[in-house]
Structure 1
């Protein structure tokens, strides 16, 4: 044993790296999980944070919030149940559909060419990231401006999607969103894309109506958006990004309730990151605040200046079957400071592009292939034999009754990445509350098929994560949020 790490409200993350030749950082075998959690449900702070901008080192940072935070404000005028049970089950139901949709997308082959955006060189900017979990849409939101003059809108950030879109007037079918629906007729910078444009040709599902390019995007739970492709100005803090290809959705349905649309951050050329191209070097960084802290906000930054010094860098792996996804090399898992006996082959891509490990902001719960998950889970159960077990909840089969406990001693959980880095998670990133009765569950599950592993946003929370697309790396740390 190397000691005990206290984990209360502050996040704890230990990263050791063998890539740079630095000495390996030691980490404890056990942590204390703080069971009694307090949540600041104040909504006044949200309005203040929406207006805050931060400039640091020549880059603009915008805030990221979890969807729970938006719902705290909306719930005052909504009779829908806001209990922990309702929120949890709604989230897991969405998450199951999300994970299934990622697996199904591997059956297709989505390739596109690079787009360009008319904007300043060496662009560095960002936004706050917030969450809107119980609103019925993606897990994390950012606040951006759309059009000229800019209309503030919440959009879902999605590292597994390649399209940017918002609901638009006239709207033949739209879901409820927190802000007024965007009206392109009131924007001086809105410009529809013609059917003959090369931009239209690069859409995976494009069509033509009255000489204008039509787009369509569907999601795993039956949600979809359809409308007109356009070039528009987006505003992040004080940074104006002109001629961004966005979908102006006139017919939309599904899980995006609360947000105005979606900001695709995937690896393909039609994503926001892909359209910026060399102007930011495919570089962006985010920090997702804990789902339980509705008074806090994370951040999303774009540009080379957002790349941190001192991070543990892991190579990105390309998959031609799914160029939008960010794959990383995972070699193994650790529990209590000991490596679980799992074959590395379970985490590798096949020659046909199946399997592998994807990092995804839109999936909450991390999934592993069944054999890997069962070995990992069984090891965790062996090291928590002193904790009272209860029946599984939803997709979680490893749960504990911690009612009455102030804190408990739990083994650490670690990801072993190919090349040497080890990411040891904070306790609240893997043992999470699922109701108001003190039930906590191990926040991992077996993947539904295809051998795909997904590192979800619960495990990413509180950790600075940076993507360096130009050089092909993803970094963890060194900062926490």
Structure 2
């Protein structure tokens, strides 16, 4: 979230029970990821229809696609529940692959967000330790901190004017796991926020930083998970009751037949290099070098943004290739929301082509269920959008793919999977 919590970028509720410490390397654990629109989420609005949820997700993607600077999973598609302190206090955060520092609201809170759970009181935690100004953690924040009475004060500001200001500290973090055991890590650096705001009406305790920087949860758990995490996303737009999963450490290794691996470029966000897109037999070349930086890494992989966005020229060629492939079997119709530009009536009867993303050394097939969405009972729309901002490989395109990150090897691996199992 070098600019804001765009997926994740990743994102989950975690059920907690027994406690054990990660004391050896190679440990793995798996947590549930609950979509923000799930009935299990505090964001859930029972009056919203599936069409409402789709339209809301589209709007969230449009906000991120209009940003010129690097962004993260801007409105957060998933939620993560962790516990902080001794005794532990439940914290509900928005996990963010584009952000490093994890922060939560803390008492006393001069400016707070309604979060639906008790605000963390660091004075009641026996393991809470403020970070000194000369500590490595404080220095790692760079310009995002200052000293006040020998305390390291962090200041996090995001592109949409969301912010958090507070004390940098460390405490015990507990993560739930699908095994029923709670994974507890001592001395995790985080921000204890006393002045916080989100730009829109969201209910959360703060941000869970899953980026590649020194203070991210991934880096702080590196001794135990060795820079490895993976996730498998179900189609939350159509079945919000089914949970996705996120894996850490040895549980996160993506292996076996059908694995495709591509280099990972870690900057403000996680970048891949997309070389071309194909629709059936039609191949569309993509500028492999980032036009702004002159370096490889031209598309952000982001589990927190719903729709994939492409440069207008590339998007136009992809849309034209789709129209040609579908041909006269489909009757086009306008999107009632005026957002998605290619829609077909009675889409369930169409024979849709597979779209393939050709990353460096990895060809990833995107099935029609991951590239088209049913926005109403009889209207099927192409679920990618043109954008003048930075291109994003969104979570709808990632559905039913097991996607593994290895920050040590600097790779991302893809494997087709049934994420409901």
Whether these two folds match at TM > 0.5 is yes
CA gap 1:367/1:196 in 2 versus in 1, 3 angstroms: same
Residue from 44, 62, 65 that aligns with 2:34: 65
Q: Does 1:95 align with 2:61?
A: yes
Match of 2:269 in 1: 325
Residue from 387, 390, 393 that aligns with 2:333: 390
1:426-465 equivalences under 5 Å are 426-434=367-375, 436-449=376-389, 452-465=390-403
CA gap 1:176/1:399 in 2 versus in 1, 3 angstroms: farther
Secondary structure, aligned partner of 1:333: strand
Q: Does 1:141 align with 2:79?
A: yes
CA deviation after TM superposition for structure 1 residue 379, in Å: 0.6
State the TM-score, normalized to the length of structure 2: 0.83
C-alpha separation between the residues in 1 aligned to 2:171 and 2:245? 23
C-alpha separation between the residues in 2 aligned to 1:241 and 1:98? 33
1:107-118 equivalences under 5 Å are none
CA gap 1:478/1:409 in 2 versus in 1, 3 angstroms: closer
CA deviation after TM superposition for structure 1 residue 72, in Å: 6.4
Question: Which piece of structure 1 moves more, 347-356 or 421-430?
Answer: 347-356
Match of 2:245 in 1: 299
CA gap 1:71/1:301 in 2 versus in 1, 3 angstroms: closer
C-alpha separation between the residues in 1 aligned to 2:41 and 2:137? 39
1:285-434 equivalences under 5 Å are 285-291=230-236, 292-310=238-256, 312-318=259-265, 323-335=267-279, 337-340=280-283, 342-344=284-286, 346-350=287-291, 352-353=294-295, 356-385=298-327, 386-392=329-335, 393-402=337-346, 407-419=349-361, 421-434=362-375
CA deviation after TM superposition for structure 1 residue 75, in Å: 5.1
C-alpha separation between the residues in 2 aligned to 1:227 and 1:100? 30
Match of 1:161 in 2: 99
Q: Does 1:212 align with 2:134?
A: no
Q: Does 1:261 align with 2:206?
A: yes
CA gap 1:327/1:414 in 2 versus in 1, 3 angstroms: same
Secondary structure, aligned partner of 1:251: strand
C-alpha separation between the residues in 2 aligned to 1:62 and 1:93? 28
CA gap 1:317/1:59 in 2 versus in 1, 3 angstroms: closer
C-alpha separation between the residues in 2 aligned to 1:243 and 1:343? 47
* Residue deviations 1:25-45 (CA, integer Å, cap 9, x gap): xxxxxxxxxxxxxxxxxxxxx
CA gap 1:191/1:58 in 2 versus in 1, 3 angstroms: closer
Gaps of 5+ in 2: 1-11, 21-25, 177-181
* Residue deviations 1:186-232 (CA, integer Å, cap 9, x gap): 22221111223221121141122333211122223222222221112
C-alpha separation between the residues in 2 aligned to 1:400 and 1:152? 45
Match of 2:187 in 1: 243
CA deviation after TM superposition for structure 1 residue 358, in Å: 1.6
C-alpha separation between the residues in 1 aligned to 2:62 and 2:116? 25
CA gap 1:479/1:99 in 2 versus in 1, 3 angstroms: same
C-alpha separation between the residues in 1 aligned to 2:39 and 2:77? 11
CA deviation after TM superposition for structure 1 residue 378, in Å: 0.8
Gaps of 5+ in 1: 1-45, 107-132
State the TM-score, normalized to the length of structure 1: 0.73
* Residue deviations 1:5-58 (CA, integer Å, cap 9, x gap): xxxxxxxxxxxxxxxxxxxxxxxxxxxxxxxxxxxxxxxxx99x83589x9x95
CA gap 1:471/1:164 in 2 versus in 1, 3 angstroms: same
Does the Cα contact within 8 Å between 1:64 and 1:289 map onto a contact in 2?
no
C-alpha separation between the residues in 1 aligned to 2:49 and 2:416? 35
Match of 2:9 in 1: none
C-alpha separation between the residues in 2 aligned to 1:195 and 1:100? 37
Does the Cα contact within 8 Å between 1:193 and 1:200 map onto a contact in 2?
yes
Aligned residues: 390
CA deviation after TM superposition for structure 1 residue 478, in Å: 4.9
CA gap 1:183/1:100 in 2 versus in 1, 3 angstroms: farther
C-alpha separation between the residues in 2 aligned to 1:283 and 1:256? 33
CA deviation after TM superposition for structure 1 residue 89, in Å: 3.8
Q: Does 1:104 align with 2:69?
A: yes
Does the Cα contact within 8 Å between 2:145 and 2:152 map onto a contact in 1?
yes
C-alpha separation between the residues in 2 aligned to 1:407 and 1:178? 44
CA deviation after TM superposition for structure 1 residue 68, in Å: 0.7
C-alpha separation between the residues in 2 aligned to 1:178 and 1:387? 47
CA gap 1:164/1:290 in 2 versus in 1, 3 angstroms: same
Q: Does 1:283 align with 2:224?
A: no
